[in-house]
Amino acid sequence: MTECSRGKSLSGTGITTEYIDDLVEKICRTYADGNGVNHSEGSNLPRESEILAILHDLFEIVFPGFGGREPQSLDNLRYSVGEIVSRCFHELRDVIFRSLRYNCELLNTPGCDCLRDAEDAALFLLSSLPEIRVRMKLDIQAAFDGDPAAKTLDEIVLSYPGIKAITIQRIAHRLYEKKVPLIPRMLGEYAHRITGIDIHPGAKLGRGIFIDHGTGVVIGETAEIGSGVKIYQGVTLGALSFPKDACGKIIKGSKRHPTIEDNVTIYAGATILGAVTIGHDAIIGGNVWITDNVEPGTKISISPPQLTISKPNPKNAVSSWDLLPETMKHEMLAAAKAVLTKSVQVKKDETVLLIYDRTTRNVAHAFIDASCSLGLLLTPRMIEVTARNGADPDPETREMMTHHNIVIAPTCNSLTHCPAMTAARSGGVRGCTLPGITDEIFARAMKVEPEQLRADGEKWVSCFPGKHHKVRVVTKLGTDISFEFGLVPCLNDDAIYAEAGNVGNIPAGEAYGVPNPGTANGRIVADASIGSFPWKEGDAPCSVTVRNGSACGFEGERAKLLEKALGSVGEKGFVLAEFGIGTNPFLKIGGNLLEDEKVKGTIHLAFGNSRGMGGDNDVPVHIDCVIRKPSVCIDGRLVIEEGEWRI
């Protein structure tokens, strides 16, 4: 047996009373040196354990069923939330009171009412919880939409550090707004400790923010971040320098951190310093160092030893929203609200995916502003211009289309009949597309009431009760084509897309369907828009010959372009896929197919894809040809005479 095993190592003189007294004296002298860092005679401070217990309860409200409590029925959940809110109010009031009292004593503030202010701050935070939940839904959806590795929304809530950090910051920010001392910073540093993400409670965060990975992200007190912003790990939104007063002391409270506008992406390791503005839709590459303003739409990347900056092509760029006349902004916002409320009829708990490209930024801006004012959950998604009408967007966007209730797509080329939209519709997604939309067309797109379009469209639907109706279209310019119609039911595009699986165009206004396969013969003379090919008033008409349901002859410059586009996808591209009748009296011919084909007094015939209308011709192209002042007979009855309705 060793000496240690006998316990002799514990014997001896040990620590003496004199040693302890001497050490205590030395420590206490540091307390009395007047340099702070002790609170021996101050008021009772809020304790971290109390604050974290309250935070845990608030998380139970923001994310019910994701915390320590078992999932509950809605009725039980109401009781549970009520019990948590009641408890949180009293606990919040207590810790906030102690924080405010500390501040009063520190600043020697006379006449303050800490208890009243504490109750006010506690109620302000609790009253903000519904809005915090709405914003967190958008943040979670943004994370799902922005991370191809994300499998479910639940996975994001449970495991993504960016969501935890943003949630805590949104809670802390409410207390910061009420000027509560200590607690907001304690919450922020707790989030920093568990996520590696440091967001000051004073920072202003927009909607649908995604912090991916997150480690090392620093966002300063006066930073402002818009909606739809994506931030990767290691990003710093910091201060470049600190203004000082005449005595050389830092002036606190001034704007010193960046403003990040909507839909900006900031890649890993980027550093943005000072009170600069990063314009909307900019892309900031990894590891760049920025201390100056960045224009909207700019892309910045680092290529040692200097930055490479590529700005948007001025020829293709849409004029910014801020440069639009106020009347135009007002009309576009009214149109966007009408689409959201009257057309797709969005409910408060539904999510909307907004797909747009560089040609439709102003229209997208109107939808984003309208959704915010209506309190709706909208995710903006900017894509590259697709290859052609009827072509799919990128794979990530295709996947996103299946995970939202509603898809709204103002884009250069049409997504109406693309395979991705057809698949989304089969899954119950509804919405509208706005191919080739311009600011001017959008401003008047919803001037007609959907109910009027519904009534007029139903007149045409009632003309085709059977499956083999004979249709003939003639014009003075030489159109003379006949076909059967009715195997696929006639549809009414009335701008009301409130039912699952219903997707149509805005502006709306057409009765349309698929001609019976193989029955069309004759000649079409198009004297207005053909797809997205350029056309203006005075341009020569062009003609297409149709035999046995497919185009087989093309005359004229635009007809040759049509032949090339249809032929690019094979023989099925030449199939006659649609017959439509324009019903909207507020629209006018102007060279934009989206509007031209809806003008009352016109008809249109299209080639290519018919799947989106119930047909079976599945190809990635759909091109319409608009015909003015037609005369139309259905089963021998004259229903339109040189553009004038006779029904």
The CATH number linked to 229 is: 2.160.10.10
Total of domains in the chain: 4
Torsion of CA 529, 532, 538, 539, to 10 degrees: -110
109-116 contacts, C-beta under 8 A, 24 or more apart:
none
Domain check: are 483 and 583 in the same one? yes
Sequence-separated (6 or more) residues with CB below 8 Å from residue 399? 148
| Segment 61-88 mean pLDDT | 80
CA distance 422 to 391: 12
pLDDT the model gives residue 72? 63
Could you tell me if residue 7 is inside a domain? no
Domain edge (last residue) among 312, 340, 374? 312
pLDDT digits (tens, 9 = 90+) for 5-21: 544 444 455 688 888 88
Q: Strand 631-634 to strand 469-474: parallel, antiparallel, or no bridges (unpaired)?
A: antiparallel
In which band, very low, low, confident or very high, does the pLDDT at 348 lie, cut at 50, 70 and 90? confident
Domain check: are 58 and 185 in the same one? yes
Domain check: are 460 and 551 in the same one? yes
Sheet strands side by side (includes 210-211): 210-211, 230-231, 265-266, 283-284, 299-303, 306-310
Sequence-separated (6 or more) residues with CB below 8 Å from residue 466? 486
Q: Is the pLDDT of residue 47 over 50?
A: yes
Could you tell me if residue 614 is inside a domain? yes
Q: Strand 406-409 to strand 430-433: parallel, antiparallel, or no bridges (unpaired)?
A: parallel
**CA Rg value for the chain:** 33
Q: Contact 239/273 with Cβ under 8 angstroms?
A: yes
In which band, very low, low, confident or very high, does the pLDDT at 322 lie, cut at 50, 70 and 90? confident
Could you tell me if residue 31 is inside a domain? no
pLDDT the model gives residue 349? 87
Q: Is the pLDDT of residue 57 over 70?
A: yes
| Residue 89: CB atoms within 10 Å | 15
Q: Which of helix, strand or coil describes residue 496?
A: coil
List strand residue ranges (DSSP E) for 460-541, in order: 469-474, 480-485, 491-493, 503-505, 510-513, 521-526
Could you tell me if residue 33 is inside a domain? no
Domain edge (last residue) among 443, 468, 487? 443
Could you tell me if residue 470 is inside a domain? yes
Q: For residue 386, give the DSSP letter.
A: P
Could you tell me if residue 327 is inside a domain? yes
pLDDT the model gives residue 136? 94
Domain edge (last residue) among 312, 343, 365? 312
Could you tell me if residue 496 is inside a domain? yes
CA distance 89 to 87: 5
Q: In 498-622, where does DSSP find H-type helix?
A: 557-567, 593-596
Domain check: are 306 and 367 in the same one? no
CA distance 394 to 283: 18
CA distance 524 to 428: 36
Tokens of 471: 């249709």
Domain check: are 464 and 588 in the same one? yes
For the entire predicted model, the pTM comes to: 0.55
Could you tell me if residue 21 is inside a domain? no
Q: Contact 296/262 with Cβ under 8 angstroms?
A: no
Domain check: are 436 and 458 in the same one? no
Burial label for 185, CB within 10 Å (0-12, 13-18, 19+), is: middle
Cα distances from 408 to residues 113, 343, 385, 467, 497, in angstroms, run 51, 11, 15, 32, 11
| Segment 478-502 mean pLDDT | 95
What angle separates helix 74-107 from helix 183-195, to the nearest 10 degrees?
120
Which residues lie across from 45 on neighbouring strands? Answer: none
What angle separates helix 129-146 from helix 161-177, to the nearest 10 degrees?
150
CA distance 1 to 4: 8
Sheet strands side by side (includes 204-205): 204-205, 224-225, 259-260, 277-278
pLDDT the model gives residue 20? 85
**Can you say whether the dihedral through the CA atoms of 113, 119, 122, 126 is positive or negative?**
negative
Which domain does 367 fall in, by range?
321-443
Q: Contact 503/510 with Cβ under 8 angstroms?
A: no
pLDDT digits (tens, 9 = 90+) for 236-272: 999 987 666 656 666 677 899 999 999 999 999 999 9
Tokens of 137: 């839904």
pLDDT the model gives residue 306? 54
CATH of the domain at 183: 1.10.3130.10
Q: Contact 389/612 with Cβ under 8 angstroms?
A: no
Tokens of 422: 């057809």
Domain check: are 437 and 491 in the same one? no
Domain check: are 304 and 394 in the same one? no
- The average confidence (pLDDT) of the chain is 90
Q: Contact 446/335 with Cβ under 8 angstroms?
A: yes
pLDDT digits (tens, 9 = 90+) for 597-642: 999 999 999 999 998 789 999 999 999 999 999 999 999 999 999 9
Q: How far, rounded to the nearest angstrom, does the alpha carbon of residue 60 sit from its chain's CA centroid?
A: 26
Domain check: are 431 and 473 in the same one? no
Question: In the chain, what is the straight-line distance between the N-terminal and C-terminal CA atoms, in Å?
Answer: 114
Domain check: are 363 and 433 in the same one? yes
pLDDT digits (tens, 9 = 90+) for 291-320: 999 999 999 988 655 556 666 655 555 457
Domain check: are 56 and 160 in the same one? yes
CATH of the domain at 336: 3.40.1830.10
Domain check: are 242 and 107 in the same one? no
Tokens of 200: 């000051």
Q: Contact 502/430 with Cβ under 8 angstroms?
A: yes
